[in-house]
Amino acid sequence: MRKKYKYLKDINFPSDLKNFSSSQLKILAEEVRAEMIDAVSETGGHLGAGLGVVELTVALHHIFNTPNDKLIWDVGHQTYPHKILTGRKDRIRTLRKGNGLSGFTKRSESEYDPFGAAHSSTSISSALGIAVAHKLSNKSDNVIAVIGDGAMSAGMAYEAMNNAGASKTKMIVILNDNDMSIAKPVGAMRSYLAKILSGKIYFSFRETIKLIISAFSKRFSKKAGKAEDFLRSAVTGGTLFNSLGFYYIGPIDGHDMDSLTSVLKNAKEINFNGPIMVHIKTAKGKGYKFAENSKDKYHGVSKFNVNTGVQEKSISPALPYTKVFANTLIKHAEKDSKIIGITAAMPSGTGMDIFGQKFPSRMFDVGIAEQHAVTFAGGLATEGYKPYAAIYSTFLQRAYDQVVHDIAIQSLPVRFAIDRAGLVGADGPTHAGSFDITFLATLPNFIVMAASDESELVKMINTSVDINDKPSAFRYPRGNGIGVELPNINEKLEIGKGRVIKEGKNVALINFGARLNECLIARENLSKKGINITIVDARFAKPLDEKLIWQVANDHNAVITIEEGSVGGFGSHVAQLLNEKNLLDNNLKYRSMFLPDRFIDHDKPDIMYKYAGLDSSNIENKILDTINSKVVVKKSN
C-alpha cells in the first residue's frame, strides 16, 4: 500500500472488519476504492466493474463468515476489492503480472476463492452445486453468488436459476444491475421497501397469510396467491424471479451501505426453503470520475495516470490485428450488402464496434450468448447472407455444439473471425486461444486458416467472402501486427495452398499461424552455423496443402511443424498425411511443436511463449535436436 489509510492498513482478512460500525464500513469502502484505483493505475486490468461493487464487497465480508460461507463471483473481473480484503492487499500490485495475482478468482490462489471464474454466467450453477453439497453434508454455511446483469444475458444463468428454484435449496444470488436497467432507478422508498420485504416481520406475516389461505378453498388460495404476486411485482419488479422459485428482494441502492448491510443480514437469517434473489443497482466505475464518464466505464484499462485518467498507449506503428479485421470487413461490406457482423458482448474487443458505426443495421451484439450467436449466424446463412461471427477463441469454446450441429453438419457458410488466438498475456489460461485449431480442423466441411501476419489476415478475409458452400474460420492473435504493408481487398488465396517463404536444404519448418517471425529469427541464427532451413507458411490446417507437404517431406531429411495450439491440431493432421503417404518409413525425421499439455499462467506474452517452448530459441533447439537424432527405420516382416 502506498497511501495512509485509517482502517485498511489494519485489515488483513474479513474477520478484521466484523465489529465495524456502519460509519466505519463506509470509510473502509472509500479506502478500498482508492487503493484499487491506485493499484490498477500501475498494473492495468479491469477497473470499472470492481469500482461498482466496492460497497457490496465490504458489506458481504462484514455480514457473512467467509471463507466458511462461500462467496462466488461471476466472471471474476470484479474481484479486485475482494482480493484486497482477503489477505492479498500486499500483493495487489502484482495483478496480472508473472507469478503475481490472477485478474480473476482462482482456487489455488486463496481459500476465499471457492470457484475459479473468468468466463461469464457460471456463478449460479457453481453456487447451487456447493449449496447442494452442503445440504447433503448437513452443513449450515451460506452460499452466495454475485452475478452482473450482463452475465444474465447468457442462457446458462437461467438454466441454473430454473434448477435452483426447483431444488428448494437455500442459497443467495445477488444480481448486480449496473447497465441494462432491469428495474427503474431506485430511491429512498425502494430501499425502505426492500428492507421491509426482506425482514423477519414481513416474512413471518407472509408465511402466516399462506397458512390461513391454505385452510380455505383452492380457488380463493389461487386468487390470493395472484394478489400477492401482483403486489410484490408492483413494488419490486420481481415476477420473473418469483416464477423461477426465488424469494425476490429489491432493487436496492448498491452503494448505500446501510441498506446493503440490513438487507444482506435479513437474507442471511431468513428461513426460506429455496433460493433468494437480492437485486441491487450499482454504477460501473463508481467513485472515479474518469471511469464514470467513460462509455465503457473503464472496463479494461492499460496503465493510467490517476489524476488525469490518461491511459498509456501502444507505441507500435503497426495496426492491431482486430482493427485490421474490422477495417477490411468494412471495405467488403461497402460493396456487398449481404455481409453481416455478429459479436457476443465484445464489440470493442472484436472490432465490431467500428463495423457497427458504419453499418448499424448490419451489426448484431447478441450479448453474452455465444451459443445463440453461432446458430443465429447459421439462420442468416440459410437466407443467403454472409455472417461474420467475431468471437474470441476461448469464448467460441462455449458454442462448440452449435458449431458442430448447427453449422458444420449443415455445411452453412458462416465465417468465424477468431480473435485472441494463441497465448494472450495478462488474462492468462482462461482467455488463451489454445484449442480452436484442434476442435475446428477435426470437423468435416470446415476451412481453417491462420494468419502469420496482418497482410495474410487481409487475404484470408478476402478469401472468406467468396466461400459460399461451407463454414470457414481464420484465426489471428491479440495485439499489433508486425508492420507489413496491407494488400487490397482483391488479393485472395487459393483454398488449401501454402507458400514457401525461404528455401534451404537441411530442415523444413512448416509454420501455421503467427510464429512465422520466430521461425525466421531461428533460421537466421542457424544459418550462421551452416544450417540451411526451408520455411513454409501453411496458411491452411484444413484442407492441407498435401502437394506442398509431400514435396517438402521428399526434399528434406527432417520436417518440423509449429503452431500456437494444442496437440491434435495442425501438426497432427500433417503427421497423419505423412503416415498415409508412407513418408515416415522413408528415413524422414518428423517433429511437431505446439502448446504444451498444461495451462500456462499469465505473464508477458514473450515470456509465456518461451515457457511454452515456442520462441525462436526453442525452435533453434528443436531443429538441432532433430538433426542430431537418429532415425528409427521400421522393418517389414
Q: Is position 111 annotated as part of the catalytic site?
A: no
Retrieve residue 35's grid coordinates. Answer: 487503493
Q: How far apart are CA 314 and CA 322, in angstroms?
A: 14
Pairing label, strands 143-148, 70-73: parallel
Q: How far apart are CA 337 and CA 359, in angstroms?
A: 10
Retrieve residue 599's grid coordinates. Answer: 495451462
Which phi and psi (to 5°) does residue 389 adopt? -90, 100
CB 491 within 8 A of CB 459: yes
Q: How far apart are CA 25 and CA 337, in angstroms?
A: 56
Q: How far apart are CA 455 and CA 145, in angstroms?
A: 45
CA distances from 629 to 184, 495, 519, 550, 626 (A): 71, 35, 20, 22, 5
Q: What are the helix (H) ranges across 530-615? A: 546-555, 570-580, 605-612
Which phi and psi (to 5°) does residue 462 adopt? -55, -45
Q: How far apart are CA 5 and CA 17, in angstroms?
A: 14
Q: Check 370, 563, 564, 620 and give the catalytic one.
A: 370
Q: Check 284, 286, 420, 539 and give the catalytic one.
A: 284
The one-letter amino acid code at 100 reads G
CB 591 within 8 A of CB 541: no
Q: In sequence order, what are the beta bridge partners of 275?
A: 171
Q: Check 398, 420, 478, 622 and give the catalytic one.
A: 398
Q: Is position 370 annotated as part of the catalytic site?
A: yes
Cis peptide before 596 (omega within 30 of 0): no
Q: How far apart are CA 73 and CA 105, in angstroms?
A: 8
3-state secondary structure of 106: coil
CB 229 within 8 A of CB 242: yes
Known catalytic residues are 284, 370, 398
